[in-house]
Structure 1
Amino acid sequence: MQIFFSNGTYTRFDVATGKVDEGYPKPINDETWPGLAPYAGDIVAACTWPGDKLQIFLKDGRYIRYDVAKDRADPGYPRPITDESWPGLAPDARQIAATLNWPGDKLQIFLKDGRYIRYDVAKDRADPGYPQPVDDSSWPGLAAYKRLFGCMVNLENKKAVIFLTDGRFIVYDIAADRIDPGYPKSL
């Protein structure tokens, strides 16, 4: 699993061992991530996408589609997030703080202001009625951390790891819909 950092670096984390791979973090450059070098410090979130793609969101409201199989950014990117490219996301494009792939072909897009948007990947549009606040009815236990969300990773639809911008992390039980006991913990 790849984790992007706001300082223009990334790390590779081995889920099976629970450790960062040897030699990381590394800089995001055209050798490690072809096509991303000019945007390395602007990456705010990334998510997996059908067709062996990554969607990489930038702080200025644009996104880059990255072809994992070809190991390069697709030509013509970055592009602005508009109602044509990301229906329902355009008004909040510059507010994206984190994304989390979710069961049922959903993508949870967390915003800097403590709200989130549920995006339907199969229908390629935001679900009606979003954005909604991150509170204890929508995300039990996460309301206190809603303005600290950094990178988020779904671990095989069982657990989600939520890295906070203050150096802590949370493990969220997807099936139980709650934070695991004892979290957050320091990195």
Structure 2
Amino acid sequence: MFYSRTVYFQETDAAGVVYFANVMAMCHEAYEASLIHAGIDLKTFFTNPDFAIPIVRAEVDYRRPIFCGDRLQIHLFPRKISQDTFEIDYQIGFAEKPETRVAIGLTKHISIHPSSRRRQPFPEEINRWLAEERAEDLLKNLDAVAIWNNGKAYFFRGDEYLSYDVNIARIDRGYPQKINLGKWKKFPPKFGAGITAAVVLKNGKALFFKGNQYIRYDLESDRVDPGYPQTLDSGNWPGWPPHFYGGIDTAFRWNNKIYIFKGDEYIRYDLAKELTDLGYPQKINSETWPGLSPKFASGIEVAFPWRDGRVYFFKGDEYICYNMNRNCTESEQPQTVSSWSGW
């Protein structure tokens, strides 16, 4: 997650910049905010007679001066080292330009019993918090996203997926899960990892793509339709350019069209006519997608529709928001994935 805050005058020194120790205090503030976000009561957590989570190592690298009034974003990246140890990396940047790092911090934490001071495994709330934070990290470098008809969005990366509640804007507890063990356990084994695209249709079906194959999933029965997987060149996608049959990068549905991307090209498929529209493929650029950053002119990894006529294009740890109704991007410059308001 990321934590936003403004720098106050009392945190600066005689030179007018933030006193060095206060940067670590901000990191700990972000850590506490992360615990609250996970539903942990701070008073109970820090006074619990059965466990304590002290910091045994802390460090900060200072890259730029920070002044009173600066608006900061602190990104937390916890990682579990063992059953009784975790570390948190802190990436601190300006809210207006979060990719610009002003400081980098690290804290190492262990779990002990308050009386004996001996190490012991983490309590369940810490394990749950670590799992949720790892889940948020999984949202970077996504493979595919499926926006379901039940208020859920499913995010896929590698052999794992997340269930996300769109209405309350929060990852469901207990995630990530393995694709072949969770909701999608009936997928063919090959589709248990590396799904490249997911498209939910209006007819109660969803399509999942991987390599030169795809499957059709029935939403009501919650299973893959018989006869799948099928190859992309099986005749079900007439009008595709031959090189698209070898595999696609991503795809999304908008109204009755599917937009399909590969490399620096895309095609538009008409679901009603069951035929690729004439004049495609076209190049992915600022002419076909007005305002699109040159960074996204090739190799778009994930594209999915969200709310209010917006489609999100993800590439690495950045995204572009495209307004389909206005036919232009919301911002010419890509934003970092962790700053997306949908999380």
For the criterion TM > 0.5, the same-fold answer is yes
Deviations 1:81-112 (A, max 9, x none): 12621112261122411111113x0110011x
Aligned counterpart, 1:129:
279
Report what 1:106 is aligned to: 257
- Of 8, 12, 17, the residue aligned with 2:163 is 12
Other structure's SS at 1:96 match: coil
- 3-state DSSP of counterpart to 1:149: coil
Which of 141, 146, 159 is residue 297 of structure 2 equivalent to? 146
Q: Residue type matched to 2:193 in 1?
A: G
What is the root-mean-square deviation in Å for CA atoms of aligned residues?
2.0
Deviations 1:57-78, CA, capped at 9 Å, x for gaps: 111x111001111111111110
Among 33, 44, 47, the alignment partner of 2:199 is: 47
User: What is the rounded CA distance, in whole Å, between the counterparts of 1:118 and 1:172 in structure 2?
Assistant: 16
Q: Does 1:84 align with 2:242?
A: no
Query: Given residue 160 of structure 1, which amino acid in structure 2 is its aligned partner?
Result: V
Q: 1:71 aligns with which of 214, 222, 235?
A: 222
Q: Tell whether the 8 Å contact from 1:163 to 1:169 is kept in structure 2 after alignment.
A: yes
Secondary structure at the aligned position of 2:192 is classed as helix
Q: TM-score, normalised by structure 2?
A: 0.49
Among 165, 170, 173, the alignment partner of 2:320 is: 170
1:28 aligned residue (160, 179, 194):
179
Instruction: Evaluate the alpha carbon distance shift between residue 177 and residue 154 of structure 1 in structure 2; reply closer, same or farther with a 3 A threshold.
Output: same
d(CA) in 1 for partners of 2:247 and 2:227?
Answer: 23
Moved more, 141-150 or 120-129: 141-150
Helix, strand or coil at the partner of 2:301: strand
**For structure 1, which segment, 124-133 or 174-183, has the greater mean C-alpha deviation from structure 2 after superposition?**
174-183
TM-score scaled by structure 1?
A: 0.87
Q: Structure 1 pair 154/186, CA: closer, same or farther in 2 (3 Å)? A: closer
The SS at the match of 2:196 is strand
Distance in 1, Cα, partners of 2:224 & 2:314: 25
For 1:21, give the aligned amino acid: D
Alpha-carbon contact 1:30-1:36 (below 8 Å) kept: no
> Is the 8 Å Cα contact of residues 163 and 170 (structure 1) preserved in structure 2?
yes
C-alpha deviation, 1:151, in angstroms: 2.3
Hey, what's the Cα distance between the residues in 2 that align with 1:124 and 1:156?
26
> Aligned equivalents of 1:69 and 1:85: distance in 2?
22
Count of matched residue pairs:
182
Answer whether contact 2:241 2:281 (CA < 8 A) is retained: no
Structure 1 match to 2:329: 179
Identity %: 31
| Closer, same or farther: CA 90–135 of 1 in aligned 2, 3 Å | closer
**Bigger strand fraction:** 1
